[in-house]
Structure 1
Amino acid sequence: MSEIAAPESKGAMSASEKTMAVLAATLEYPRFTDIVAASGLAKATVHRILGTLVAGNYIAGEGENGYRPGPALISLAGRALSSLDFEKIARPIVDQLVAEVDCTIHVGVATDSEMVYLIRKDASKPYQMKSRVGTGMPLHCTGMGKAVMASWDKTRVAQLVDHYGLPRRTPDTITTLAALLRELDKVRTAGYATDLGENELGTVCVSAGIRDHTGAVTHGLSISSIALEHPGRSIEQFADKAIEAADQISLLLGAPAKNN
């Protein structure tokens, strides 16, 4: 469990703000003393608010054995998650990113073996990518796929290779487990992934992973172009932009903030 940070000065808090502070602390720490420390409120206030939350089934448990989310809160969270419209959340960020970098932007979701395109927004350039929304590409040869796989452990990567193989799509496609693991190590270190003609000759991209409300990397975002316009590794100039946009979408999906 993470160390409890010293509470910031909260000034005059409303009753609803105090309730939310206690609820947030309870979801992080089960013990009463830790909830008090994390919320920054008086013990009597925390005890009273916890009583109200327990009575409403938003929190379950008690001080001796610890608190946990109650059925009402779990039901509420489930309804909130089911109502999320991923494209509606991501689209404004994608639109802004296209305006900033004038490259094609893709957003995709990972399956067991593929990255399926959910969003494609073209640049103002006369050329267009061959990608199509709804189609899937192998994880191992796409920037978004590698950004997702970099969050996996080696066993899961090996299972993918054993089950689906590493089909060669271009002369630059990674086709061995050892090479893929080395590539994923680089992605983890850099914080972003690239596809330099590995999926389709003449196209390049830089990608970052998108995290869901649990912190798992389930989606990816890529900034794509053609190698004639961005030769070599020059597409990496947009790496920070890709990471920033992916993190913005992640936070809107409820992902925890990254630890710096």
Structure 2
Amino acid sequence: MTDSGDALSASEKTLNVLAAALEHSRFTDIVSASGLAKATVHRILATLVANDFIAGDGERGYRAGPALLSLAGRAISTVDIAQVARPIVDRLVAEVDCTVHVGVATDNEIVYLIRRDATKPYQMKSRVGHGMPMHSTGMGKVVMASWPAAQVAEFAARVGLPPRTNATITTLDALDAELRRVRERGFATDLGENELGTVCVSAGIRDHTGAVTHGLSISSIALEHPGTSIEQFADAAVAAADEISRLIGAPA
């Protein structure tokens, strides 16, 4: 029987089997996913197991081995999300001609990591390294929407939900309702809640564990995007945030 992977190099075959073994635990499923002959898969798996890149066997199933997990941990620790995100942010700014931010969540705030301005004559007051309250910002709300209710309540009790403007959410009930809406829609907005006259639409960025740890926002002024019209960029924000998530190792 001819191996369907005959045209592949030995390295490519090994990578195919490794990828398949990380997606499937059963030998037959690994064979199917790799597109290689059983004998080839069996030989490559034996080599991967012997070198601790894969653990397990045909009876118990296969899984990532200690050598691979160690390499993955070292790779993840060197990821600079700002460096990964910048080309995507630059492309997004050119597409929507609005200011784009990327921020990271701390215990109480969203801290700006990236700010890229549009071609418009006005500029946002935000600056890289500056923190803003979670509950009054779009990026903060997309992060909090991924939290369990108890964590949201603890945050509200600790921070106090202080008003930034007359539109800021200042009660736990209102915050819970807003976060439910964010989860349903897949994005958040800030309609003058953090700064009068400024609006944004935001999407969450997931890390390698799937946790929402960062946010991306498309921001403008209310005079240019009145009411809820900033939501026209929601799909673009979500797509950019998902692309960044994928590049930093978020699960599919």
Could you say whether these structures have the same fold, taking a TM-score greater than 0.5 normalized by the shorter chain as the test? yes
Residues 1:152 and 2:154 are matched in the alignment = no
Residues 1:70 and 2:65 are matched in the alignment = yes
- Structure 2: tracts of 5 or more residues without a match: none
Match of 1:6 in 2: none
- The Cα RMSD (Å) is 1.8
Q: Which residue identity does 1:165 align to in structure 2? A: G
Distance in 2 between residues matched to 1:190 and 1:14, nearest whole Å? 45
Match of 1:3 in 2: none
Distance in 2 between residues matched to 1:163 and 1:216, nearest whole Å? 22
Residues 1:182 and 2:184 are matched in the alignment = no
Aligned equivalent of 1:124, options 119, 126, 131: 119
1:126-145 to structure 2, matched below 5 A, reads 126-145=121-140
Shift of 1:96: 1.2
Residues 1:173 and 2:159 are matched in the alignment = no
Q: Which residue identity does 2:79 align to in structure 1? A: L
Distance in 2 between residues matched to 1:38 and 1:111, nearest whole Å? 40
Shift of 1:30: 2.6
* Structure 1 range deviating more: 200-209 or 245-254: 245-254
Shift of 1:93: 1.0
In the TM superposition, what whole-angstrom CA distance separates every residue of 1:228-248 from its partner, at most 9, and x where no partner exists?
111111111111111111111
Distance in 1 between residues matched to 2:205 and 2:227, nearest whole Å? 25
Relative distance call for 1:165 and 1:38 in structure 2 (3 A) is farther
Match of 1:196 in 2: 191
In the TM superposition, what whole-angstrom CA distance separates every residue of 1:111-154 from its partner, at most 9, and x where no partner exists?
12211100011112221111111111111110011111112222
Q: Which residue identity does 2:221 align to in structure 1? A: I
In the TM superposition, what whole-angstrom CA distance separates every residue of 1:173-197 from its partner, at most 9, and x where no partner exists?
1111111111111111211110001
Shift of 1:80: 1.4
Q: Which residue identity does 1:21 align to in structure 2? A: N
* Structure 1 range deviating more: 138-147 or 28-37: 28-37
Q: Secondary structure at the match of 1:91?
A: helix
Relative distance call for 1:11 and 1:191 in structure 2 (3 A) is farther
1:31-70 to structure 2, matched below 5 A, reads 31-70=26-65
Asked whether the 8 Å contact 2:5–2:36 carries over to 1, the reply is no
Q: Secondary structure at the match of 2:123?
A: coil
- Structure 1: tracts of 5 or more residues without a match: 1-8
Distance in 2 between residues matched to 1:192 and 1:11, nearest whole Å? 46
Aligned equivalent of 1:213, options 208, 215, 218: 208
Q: Which residue identity does 1:177 align to in structure 2? A: L
Q: Which residue identity does 1:74 align to in structure 2? A: L
Q: Which residue identity does 2:209 align to in structure 1? A: T
Shift of 1:10: 7.3
Relative distance call for 1:21 and 1:122 in structure 2 (3 A) is same
In the TM superposition, what whole-angstrom CA distance separates every residue of 1:200-252 from its partner, at most 9, and x where no partner exists?
11110001111112221111110111111111111111111111111111111
Per the normalisation by structure 2, the TM-score is: 0.92
Percent identical pairs in the alignment equals 75
Q: Secondary structure at the match of 2:135?
A: helix
Match of 2:226 in 1: 231
Distance in 2 between residues matched to 1:129 and 1:144, nearest whole Å? 15
